[in-house]
Structure 1
């Protein structure tokens, strides 16, 4: 996974909080996943990727990961970048990067592999054309 800011087509700014620091004075490892999850969810809301009805498909995280390169800490302003790394029939992998301020190189990279499931059966279901287009737009 690349660390270059320009490789991620969608970005959002995420402030850190004092409570995010651990006893060593840098962001707790769990906070990195929280920042990734927040950025991913903001993109899904902003683009309409998430459905708004009880019958809308759901997206289950089936795998995730993180690689750390530099420490982040409060009061850093984090810029999260997002791109789609892989699109399958009913699954996709979103790749994320966390940048300190205006840095061009990520302090951490991560990914979330998700599977679309039917709201009633909870079985995998194929991605529809509009959602596939949204993923391709950040691929």
Structure 2
């Protein structure tokens, strides 16, 4: 396990400035009675896009610039399953001029330690041409509110 993967396990709710609740569904479980690993990526998309739409004035169907996922990851620490309510925590670990790296902590409601931590990197592109572009000012301003200095790298 790398140093950064080990530090993810030690995240707490206080490490995330924005939260979204998610009520698990029966169909989220796999045959082992825990949330299927592919569902976590749906959760990541849900919190990131909810934030972009409500706090960054992003309108995916109308925006001239959109974010495309270029890498993703997830580390699993404890099983989560239906009928739990989950709290998804969002932070930004890197904010560039045309890219952003998100981190999502997945917490069982009421717990301070995550069951999983993951995220992805968006690169912003022109929606029509798909050529790299700087993110809109409203998007950058909204995302800057989520930037958290990672104390483990200091």
Q: TM-score range by the shorter chain?
A: over 0.9
- Matched with 2:123 is 115
Match of 1:38, SS? helix
Q: Who is 2:36 aligned against?
A: 28
**Which blocks of at least 5 consecutive residues in structure 1 are unaligned?**
none
Name the SS for the 1:82 alignment partner. strand
Structure-2 residue corresponding to 1:13: 21
Please, what TM-score do these two structures have when normalized by structure 1?
0.93
Across the aligned residues of Structure 1 and Structure 2, the Cα RMSD in angstroms comes to 1.5
Determine whether 1:74 maps to 2:82. yes
Total equivalences in the alignment: 139
CA contact (8 A) 1:56 1:118 kept: yes
SS at match of 1:34: helix
Following superposition, the deviation at residue 44 of structure 1 comes to 1.4
Please state if 1:137 is matched with 2:149: no
Partner of residue 105 from structure 1, selected from 113, 117, 120: 113
Q: 2:91 aligns with which of 49, 73, 83?
A: 83
Q: Please state whether the residue corresponding to 2:138 is helix, strand or coil.
A: helix
- Identify the residue that residue 47 of structure 2 maps to in structure 1: 39
Gaps of 5+ in 2: 1-7, 148-154
Q: Tell me the TM-score normalised to structure 2 length.
A: 0.84
2:136 maps to 1:128: yes
* 1:25-44: CA deviation from partner (whole Å, max 9, x where unpaired): 11111111111111111111
Tell me the equivalent position of 2:100. Answer: 92
